[in-house]
Structure 1
Amino acid sequence: MSRSFSGCKRCKARRQKCDEQRPTCGRCKTAGIQCRYAMQLQWGGRAFSRSRFGACMGNGGMQKLEYSPGEFIYTTKSSEVSSNNSSLITKPVDPFSSLSSEQKSLLHHFINDASQITACHSGMQNDICRMLIPMALQTPSLLHATTALSAIHLQALHNQSESVKSAPDIARYMASSLEHFRKELQSPSSKGSDALLATARTLCLAEIHSGAIHPNSWRAHVEGAKALMTTANSGRQSPSPQSSDGFRCYLDRWYRSIVSLTALTGNGPPIGENIEQPSSVVVAHLDSPDYLDDYWGFTVQLSAIFRQIGAVAWRIHPNSRTPDQKLIQDKDSVEEDAAVLESSVYRLMDQGADTRPTFYPGVVEGLTETCIRNFILCNEAFQHSALIQIHRRLRNAPATSPLVQQSVKRILECTIQIGPSSGLSPWVMLTTPLFIAGCEARGEDRETVRQLLSALHDTIRVPNVLQSLKFLEQYWANQIDERENWSHFLDRMQFDFIPY
């Protein structure tokens, strides 16, 4: 604030020579000259009218209240005025201000583009970003894992899917994420946190999407997620689909489904399953409520069947047996398990033909009829994938078996009906069933598989889709005979690969 004098003795005596550049006193102002003897108080080094506080007077947000002659305070005019002008006196905070320009760009790409490759509809994409991004801004390991996943997709968009695994910037982000991850795992404050599980999930997806084939690359993160979930869930019940803990429910769904796909297509031991589980217990879960998981495109009960297929297949795998065990002892029990699993899949098919699928609470309201139809087709493609694996891996049926070829053709029909989409459709989940069908395809069906996988890569730009097609070409060219299935081929080539 400023204060003016009524005059000064020097001005009275030498009015014409009082021309210093100073605030104007009362009498000098009348004469139109500057007086160096007047005094002005300043706010923050500025004149009151030019200070931030003084500016509030100009926009109407503040008022001068004089409670006695010459004494006053500043106050807001009213609560209504204050709320109306809050945008004028507050400055928005940029949550990305601490990030580098490269990190900002990659997060922006993840939010708008890369998040679509793991989302079947807009509601899922919004949920993924809403849950992951705020947590990533507070968790360095998750931040670097997310930027790595985004960089993988961005490089594929630039037609560089083949060079993703050797890209230095992607390797740098992955290494940085792992370094922070190790530190965070050792911190007592983060023990069992959702952020650590989210990091394990994102690192796993980054490894898979890049087309990793080395042992214990992506699988190590699934095993790590299992350990984290065991720690987090000890002493408390897992959240139900109706739980308010939506993020933990989402992570639980991711873990259950990635383990299921690993069991269905991988050649290693099943993760988190009892490989000696008897047939009588295999389908006990079928009496529980079922949901068509909109994140993965298949039902919860079908997911459990995938895990049991992997458990039974590993029980007869040569690497799981001791020298004194004989395969002949298992043939009857394996056939019994195969029959139970096959009837379970057909039971799910019959149920699906008569009823509308049940989605998790709050999901179906945001889905169009076309999207629901595509989910039904996607789930059917996964059902036939399970049938193929039962016949080929458990019963060792030849690829030319009519039952196998019938399922191959139905998977291709379902995929064609869904049709290519650049995202926000169950189309993004079809790598696994297309690959399983491709392993057994014959004649013109192989060309159809080539075209569909190429279209899938061109739309979602996941390098692992291109890797899947590359491996199919190798398998078709190098398969010993029609009884050698994909898991046998993986053993022979010493790959650790999941088509997702």
Structure 2
Amino acid sequence: MYLSTYPAILPCLETVGIIDGTMACCMELLDVFRWIGILEEMKLQSLELPKSEPQHLTDYSQQISAKLVSFVQQMMARDSKTPPMVSNELQGLPTNTLLEDYRLCNTIAQHVSLICLYRYGLGLDRKYPCVANSVRSVIGLASAITMHAGSHPSICLSTALFIAGHEAERECEGDIRTLLEIQYQITKSQNTQKALDMLHRTWSAVPSPNDIRKKDRSPNAPLIDDFVPY
């Protein structure tokens, strides 16, 4: 059966979270993002299957998505009770502020994973409160971090803000635009500028009848085409 080609093992929650120095999020969350990639693959593969099979794949995808949402929520509860530590390569951080920035970026990444799971795993509309709440959380948490150029966890914010911006309601677009503009002014990253340009086109686009990806920002379409902001 086609579903047998997908792994059945979901991430395991550790007692204390350990933040990866490169991705600025807990290592278990990296497994969640890998699963989000698998869910994306399922959605694309379902278009190529016989009519009887896509529903099985959709049901399986939604079951996995619901379990992953629960897992991320458990992770967030754990991290709220016991703040995560940093991985070995980050030991000896110069200030407590920098450690707190890593923890804020970890929480931002958790909300980003929830946005992806809600929208592209469970197929919820971006107007659902859970989606909108995570978008607003990304904005609020990103606003609390002092952005820096070079080796700093804030470098990961372009990705988070791009994803949140793709699902933002109209009233949140200005906040995301401002944060990305500040990020660009500090880092001078052309990738961040491209993220801004793509969001501007998304926010202002008038979809054509054949443009499924722009029409209502459909949860059935991939979140990002071939562009990964960083």
Q: TM-score of the superposition, structure 1-length normalised?
A: 0.41
Shift of 1:349: 0.4
**Counterpart of 2:116?**
389
SS of residue paired to 1:398 = coil
Match of 1:310 among 37, 55, 62: 37
**Counterpart of 2:210?**
none
Q: Does 1:418 find its partner at 2:127?
A: no
Shift of 1:287: 4.6
1:438 & 1:444 partners in 2: Cα distance? 11
1:382 & 1:474 partners in 2: Cα distance? 24
Q: Do the aligned residues in 1 keep the contact of 2:18 with 2:26 (CA within 8 Å)?
A: yes
What is the aligned-residue RMSD (CA, Å)? 2.3
**CA distance change for structure 1 residues 354 and 275 in 2, over 3 Å: closer, same or farther?**
farther
**Residue type matched to 2:10 in 1?**
V
Shift of 1:398: 0.8
- Alignment gaps of 5+ in structure 1: 1-273
**Counterpart of 2:56?**
329
Q: Number of residue pairs matched?
A: 220
Match of 2:168 among 433, 441, 449: 441
SS of residue paired to 1:341 = helix
- Alignment gaps of 5+ in structure 2: 208-213
Q: Do the aligned residues in 1 keep the contact of 2:123 with 2:220 (CA within 8 Å)?
A: no
Q: Does 1:453 find its partner at 2:183?
A: no
**CA distance change for structure 1 residues 319 and 497 in 2, over 3 Å: closer, same or farther?**
farther
Max Rg structure? 1
Q: Does 1:359 find its partner at 2:86?
A: yes
**Matched ranges for 1:281-300 at <5 A:** 281-283=9-11, 285-287=12-14, 290-300=17-27
**Residue type matched to 2:216 in 1?**
E
**CA distance change for structure 1 residues 397 and 452 in 2, over 3 Å: closer, same or farther?**
same
2:174 & 2:161 partners in 1: Cα distance? 12
1:311 & 1:339 partners in 2: Cα distance? 14
**Matched ranges for 1:366-381 at <5 A:** 366-381=93-108
**Counterpart of 2:218?**
484
**Residue type matched to 1:342 in 2?**
V
Percent same amino acid at aligned positions?
25
**CA distance change for structure 1 residues 366 and 287 in 2, over 3 Å: closer, same or farther?**
closer
Higher relative contact order (Cα pairs below 8 Å, separated by 6+ residues): 2
Q: Do the aligned residues in 2 keep the contact of 1:465 with 1:499 (CA within 8 Å)?
A: yes
Q: Which stretch has the larger CA shift, 421-430 or 455-464?
A: 421-430
Q: Does 1:496 find its partner at 2:226?
A: yes
SS of residue paired to 1:366 = coil
Shift of 1:384: 0.2
1:448 & 1:464 partners in 2: Cα distance? 19
Q: Do the aligned residues in 1 keep the contact of 2:142 with 2:157 (CA within 8 Å)?
A: yes
**CA distance change for structure 1 residues 400 and 309 in 2, over 3 Å: closer, same or farther?**
same
**Residue type matched to 2:190 in 1?**
P
**CA distance change for structure 1 residues 312 and 415 in 2, over 3 Å: closer, same or farther?**
same
**Residue type matched to 1:336 in 2?**
Q
Shift of 1:365: 1.7
**Residue type matched to 1:459 in 2?**
I
1:287 & 1:421 partners in 2: Cα distance? 30
Shift of 1:414: 0.7
Q: TM-score of the superposition, structure 2-length normalised?
A: 0.86
**Matched ranges for 1:34-113 at <5 A:** none
1:409 & 1:489 partners in 2: Cα distance? 18
Q: Do the aligned residues in 2 keep the contact of 1:456 with 1:465 (CA within 8 Å)?
A: yes
1:320-374 deviation digits (Å, cap 9, x = unpaired): 6334553222232222101110011011101111113222226232331100111
